[in-house]
Amino acid sequence: MMNKKVLVLNQDYSPIGVCHVQKAFILVFLDKADIIEQFESLKLRTIEKSFPYPAVIKLSNYKNIPYKGVMLNRFNLFKRDGFSCQYCSSRKDLTLDHVIPKSKGGKTTWENLVTACRRCNARKGHQTPEQVGLKLAQQPYKPTYADFLKEYALQNAIEWLPYLKARTLV
């Protein structure tokens, strides 16, 4: 059962990454990190000893990590929008839509792109959603790294949730 991932926090408790349990254990063993949360039902065992199975570790020293935003691409937009049309909730024939059309000065940004099915995208055309009577399920936003970690945590590691203070993706 060594396939669970471990959330890595900086010294200030900000999430900076995910690693395999082997790497987390080495960091803890070498006093470079502390276990903050553990998977209660799991243990790491040797022939003679049993150790806690880390779920969340915090680095002992602050690491200056350059900001890495979530890359704006088709897959990440679909992921942010739950792989569903933001106008009708369909999950079929998905495309990208500029909320404010490019022909009207709309930019290709996180805040102006949404997932839309072909039908709704064609209905909207070169107009705004309001002009054709469409409503967005949610306002488009720029997701953070923690947003995507939270999605993983909801399915695999609820122990991470208190440390991912970003917008919920459910």
pLDDT, tens only, 72-129 = 999 999 999 999 999 999 999 999 999 999 999 999 999 999 999 999 999 999 999 9
Q: Are 32 and 10 in contact (CB under 8 A)?
A: no
pLDDT in tens, 23-34: 999 999 999 999
Q: Give residue 62's domain range.
A: 5-67+145-163
Residue spans of alpha helices (H) in the chain: 21-29, 74-80, 118-124, 145-156
CA distance 164 to 152: 11
- If one counts the domains in the chain, the total is 2
Q: Are residues 33 and 57 in the same domain?
A: yes
**Tens digit of pLDDT for each residue in 50-68?**
888 899 999 999 998 877 7
- Nearest C-alpha neighbor of 67 from the set 164, 144, 128, 142: 144
What mean pLDDT do residues 2-8 have? Answer: 83
Residue 169: per-residue pLDDT: 39
CATH code, 108: 1.10.30.50
